[in-house]
Amino acid sequence: MMKNNLIPKNNLSSIKRSFVAGENIIKLLKKDLGLTKNTNEIIQISYDLQSGSYIKNALRKRALIDARTSEIAKNINELFRPQSLMEICVGEGTILADVVLKLSKKPKEVYGFDLSWSRLKYSSLWLKAKKVDGVHLFMADLFNIPLLDNSIDVIYSSHSIEPNGGREKNALIELMRVTKKYLVLIEPSFELASEEARHRMIKHG
């Protein structure tokens, strides 16, 4: 787990107990710290605690993953045949693996980054199990990606900007900096959501 400056070390065990009990960790941490917006540290702690759950979920919901990754691959195939591809905030690689397998031609370079080291470890194992070789995984912050300007042909998201309510513009500026050809965003739409869904988005940041 990343070193954090906000959460006392002796409090992490109680946070884990709350997670096991089914509490929303992001909501809990924001309340405890008196914050109204999510921070990188809060998101990172929440994702570290969830590590492994995305693969379990992907195994249970194969039809959903198949439909989503087919749509992403279809859109990329229609746009361009990239030499380089990257999924931001890649999590456990459950989307990236299938997208790469469904592209008409595998890019020479495939990347994925995440704020959570633990999720990247699971991602490495999942990609290996799916026989998707040569993917470069690295740990990074969405708002400070350690890549050169215009360095990746196609970058896509899969509910990755979603937890960063209020910082969307900064995320997009950084993504546009790194993107060379196309930026494909798969994110929830506040404008098209129901009142109940809008309330949930605001509540959870």
Helix, strand or coil for residue 195? Answer: helix
Gap between the Cα atoms of 119 and 139, Å rounded: 10
The pLDDT value given to residue 1? 39
Please name which of 175, 182, 161, 171 lies closest in space to residue 107, comparing C-alpha atoms: 182
Please enumerate in sequence order all residues whose Cβ is within 8 A of that of 153, keeping only pairs 6 or more positions apart, or say none. Answer: 80, 82, 83, 84, 85, 107, 180, 181, 182
Q: Which of 24, 17, 95 is nearest to 57 (CA)?
A: 95
Residue 20: per-residue pLDDT: 72
Q: Hey, what are 115's tokens?
A: 């704020």
Helix pair 12-20, 25-33: axis angle to 10 deg? 140
Closest to 127 (Cα-Cα) out of 111, 145, 116: 111
Q: What is the pLDDT of residue 8?
A: 55
Determine the number of helices (DSSP H) and then strands (DSSP E) in the chain: 9, 5
Alpha-carbon distance of 109 to 123, in angstroms, equals 17
Interatomic CA distance for residues 56 and 190, integer angstroms: 28
pLDDT of residue 134: 96
- According to the model, what pLDDT value does residue 204 have? 75
Three-state DSSP state, 105: coil
Whole-prediction pTM value? 0.80
The answer to whether the beta carbons of residues 163 and 89 sit under 8 Å apart is no
The side-by-side arrangement of strands in the sheet containing 152-158 is: 135-139, 109-114, 84-87, 152-158, 179-186
Per-residue confidence (pLDDT) for residue 2, from 0 to 100: 43
| Domains detected in the chain | 9-50 (no CATH), 61-186 (3.40.50.150)
Flag residues of the chain having pLDDT under 70: 1-10, 12, 25, 47
Q: Tell me which DSSP letter residue 186 carries.
A: E
